[in-house]
């Protein structure tokens, strides 16, 4: 595995159209590019994996702004824990990766529309999302955290204190749904970087950022001078994975065995420790049942 520069680590539709074969005398089979002709001249519908394999490219939506999961290093190359996991999976499947950077709000829509084949950006597996998408097996285990002002804890000591406060985040994240449910005023951003979020909390434009603990904690340590810190409120254990289309399970059936290989070989652990300051987020958490769980009423 190529080792990335430590400084760099710290800084930091097209739609598949149905193309029909042109008629050519009596050789016309009436088969479209979404079908495969078998040896007995019968045709079967192509799977999502068939189309990816033919193109040789896996199209993946990610943000490019979520340090340390998906961000640009000093060399401006896209990297991060989830980006590197996807690269490893694609490599073992013999595919190139085409990362398409966009805000969280657009990623799920892009998967549904077929603009991309997958999305990787800290997506929690939830019952609501499972109604509309397939997920790979999880490769990250975490729980909810809270970024607050260092000077006064943003006036938040308990979950009840979220009410009336301004919560910052992406419009469609589970964390912002929870904040709204608990009475906070949502202040939404379109694919902003960590430092933008942190400066707004420090200045009082917003009060707190509910998000994945490990992502938040790693970023807070890097941007310590911006006047934010982690609250000691922890909640809602989570499992995160690659988001896939609900059309069929063909891509999941290819990706899951590769993720199992990466886990068994220690690659996931190595990548996790590299990007999360020595923490291994690839394994299930100890004492996870002790954390409070607040049911979220929407995805």
- Run of H or E including 236: strand 235-240
As given in the structure block, the two tokens for residue 49 are: 């994996």
Q: Using CA atoms, how far apart are residues 66 and 56, in angstroms rounded to an integer? A: 27
Q: Using CA atoms, how far apart are residues 214 and 277, in angstroms rounded to an integer? A: 9
Please report the pLDDT score of residue 43 as a whole number.
Answer: 56
Please report the pLDDT score of residue 31 as a whole number.
Answer: 40
As given in the structure block, the two tokens for residue 251 are: 């891509």
Q: What is the pLDDT of residues 18-42, one digit of tens each?
A: 322 233 333 333 344 565 555 555 4
Mean pLDDT confidence for 95-122: 96
Q: Please report the DSSP string for 140-177 in residue order.
A: EEEEEEEEEETTTGGG-SSGGGGTTSEEEE-TT-HHHH
Mean pLDDT confidence for 11-20: 33
Looking at the predicted structure, is the pLDDT value of residue 298 above 90?
Answer: no
Kindly list the structural domains of the chain, giving each domain's residue range(s) and its CATH number in brackets, ordered by start: 53-139+241-283 (3.40.190.10), 142-237 (3.40.190.10)
Q: What is the pLDDT of residues 123-175, one digit of tens each?
A: 999 999 999 999 999 999 999 999 999 999 999 999 999 999 999 999 889 99
Q: What is the pLDDT of residues 62-85, one digit of tens each?
A: 999 999 999 999 999 999 999 999
Looking at the predicted structure, is the pLDDT value of residue 248 above 70?
Answer: yes
Please report the pLDDT score of residue 287 as a whole number.
Answer: 84
């Amino acid at each position: 595995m190529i080792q990335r520069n430590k400084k760099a680590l710290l800084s930091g539709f097209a739609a598949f159209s149905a193309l029909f074969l042109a008629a050519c005398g009596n050789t016309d089979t009436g088969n479209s590019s979404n079908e495969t002709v078998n040896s007995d001249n019968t045709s079967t519908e192509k799977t999502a994996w068939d189309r990816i394999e033919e193109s040789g490219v896996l199209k993946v939506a990610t943000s490019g702004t979520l340090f340390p999961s998906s961000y640009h290093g000093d060399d401006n190359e896209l990297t991060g824990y989830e980006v590197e996991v996807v690269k490893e999976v694609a490599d073992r499947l013999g595919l190139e990766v085409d990362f398409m950077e966009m805000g969280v709000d657009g990623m799920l829509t892009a998967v549904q529309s077929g603009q991309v084949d997958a999305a990787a950006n800290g997506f929690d597996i939830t019952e609501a999302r499972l109604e509309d998408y397939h997920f790979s097996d999880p490769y990250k285990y975490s729980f909810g955290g809270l970024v607050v002002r260092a000077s006064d804890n943003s006036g938040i000591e308990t979950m009840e204190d979220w009410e009336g406060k301004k919560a910052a985040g992406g419009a469609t994240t589970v964390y912002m749904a929870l904040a709204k449910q608990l009475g906070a005023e949502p202040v939404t951003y379109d694919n902003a970087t960590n430092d933008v979020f942190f400066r707004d909390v420090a200045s009082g434009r917003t009060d707190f950022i509910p998000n994945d603990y490990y992502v938040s904690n790693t970023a807070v340590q890097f941007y310590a001078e911006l006047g934010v810190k982690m609250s000691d409120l922890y909640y809602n254990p989570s499992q995160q994975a690659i988001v896939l289309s609900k059309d069929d399970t063909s891509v999941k059936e290819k990706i899951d065995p590769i993720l199992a290989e990466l886990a068994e070989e220690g690659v996931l652990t190595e990548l996790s420790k590299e990007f999360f300051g020595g923490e291994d987020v690839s394994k299930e958490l100890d004492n996870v049942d002790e954390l409070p769980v607040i049911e979220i009423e929407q995805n």
